[in-house]
């Protein structure tokens, strides 16, 4: 299959590489920065429109809702290059309501639309083990499922268009609240005089065990906050959740509290750090200094 891929960031770059390794012909849009060496086999197009003209399937992996709208519907955007029978698949994490609106415009062109946001971060993107939440018509899902299987180890057809984004928002709520819980627990352990590393080891053997405690708990101990998924992007995702909650008249007090903690981190200039760096916000609230515990 000839696949267009737009959005070669931290996540998109390894995802695109898996498609090349799977034997697909890849088309990418020209960027201000050079195309990464690992994607040197991809054909480079001048515009998103040119990508869509040459591809059977166009995949987007972009930061936010306005970015997706611009790439799709700008003068030289994807929509301008589509012809009937092609498919657009958005793997970004964006507003479910906007997703349904974008899908309607693409369907009016005689094309199919899929929303397929992912979870697992940079580590899973590189390993090809992402969890992918898909919103699509059943026949469209069956057609794109082999492509998704090149990038993820768990591909779930959640429902119709927009349902994948709804699942992603729910995912980000759970992940954000769990990061906050782990950060608060490790801060408590340090202030109480226990070794946070040994506390984490103990928790990993019990009911509190989680992927977040395992991976991000270690990042907190090591203060290793190079972004796999940034605080700014996670704050954006929780903003989507809270906006949807207002529309549904749904109280979401824990999500709102977590959003405030993320915004506090951004205000401290840490928006570009990995979301595990939310630990720093709890450390500041506790006036916890690194010298109080070698692991904190």
Q: How far apart are CA 265 and CA 36, in angstroms?
A: 31
DSSP 35: P
**Residue labelled with tokens 């065990």:** 209
**Residue labelled with tokens 């993320």:** 262
Residues 6+ apart with CB under 8 A from 291: none
Catalytic annotation, pick one of 86, 126, 168, 236: 168
Residues linked to residue 29 through DSSP beta bridges, in sequence order: 45
Q: Provide the 3-class DSSP secondary structure of residue 114.
A: strand
Question: Quick check: 258 and 237 in contact, CB under 8 A?
Answer: no
Query: 132: part of which helix (H) or strand (E)?
Result: strand 130-135
Q: How far apart are CA 252 and CA 231, in angstroms?
A: 20
Whether 168 is a known active-site residue: answer yes
Catalytic residues: 168
């Amino acid at each position: 299959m000839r696949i267009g891929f737009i959005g070669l960031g931290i996540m998109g770059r390894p995802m695109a590489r898996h498609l090349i390794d799977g034997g697909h012909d890849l088309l990418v849009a020209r960027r201000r920065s050079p195309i990464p060496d690992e994607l040197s086999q991809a054909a480079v197009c001048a515009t998103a429109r040119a990508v869509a003209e040459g591809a059977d399937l166009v995949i987007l992996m972009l930061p936010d809702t306005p970015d997706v709208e611009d790439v799709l519907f700008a003068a030289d955007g994807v929509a301008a290059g589509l012809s009937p029978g092609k498919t657009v698949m958005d793997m970004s994490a964006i507003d479910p309501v906007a997703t349904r609106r974008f899908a309607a415009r693409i369907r009016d062109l005689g094309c199919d639309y899929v929303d397929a946001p992912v979870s697992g971060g940079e580590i899973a993107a590189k390993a090809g083990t992402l969890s992918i939440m898909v919103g699509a018509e059943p026949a469209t899902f069956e057609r794109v499922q082999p492509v998704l299987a090149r990038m993820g180890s768990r591909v779930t057809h959640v429902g119709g268009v927009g349902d994948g984004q709804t699942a992603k928002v729910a995912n980000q709520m759970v992940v954000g609240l769990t990061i906050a819980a782990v950060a608060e627990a490790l801060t408590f352990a340090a202030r109480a005089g226990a070794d946070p590393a040994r506390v984490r080891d103990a928790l990993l053997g019990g009911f509190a065990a989680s992927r977040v405690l395992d991976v991000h708990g270690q990042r907190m101990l090591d203060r290793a906050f190079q972004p796999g998924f940034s605080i700014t992007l996670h704050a954006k995702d929780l903003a989507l959740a809270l906006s949807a909650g207002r529309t549904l008249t749904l109280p979401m007090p824990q999500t709102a509290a977590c959003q405030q903690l993320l915004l506090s981190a951004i205000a401290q200039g840490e928006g570009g750090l990995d979301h595990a760096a939310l630990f720093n916000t709890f450390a500041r609230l506790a006036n916890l200094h690194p010298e109080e515990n070698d692991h904190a």
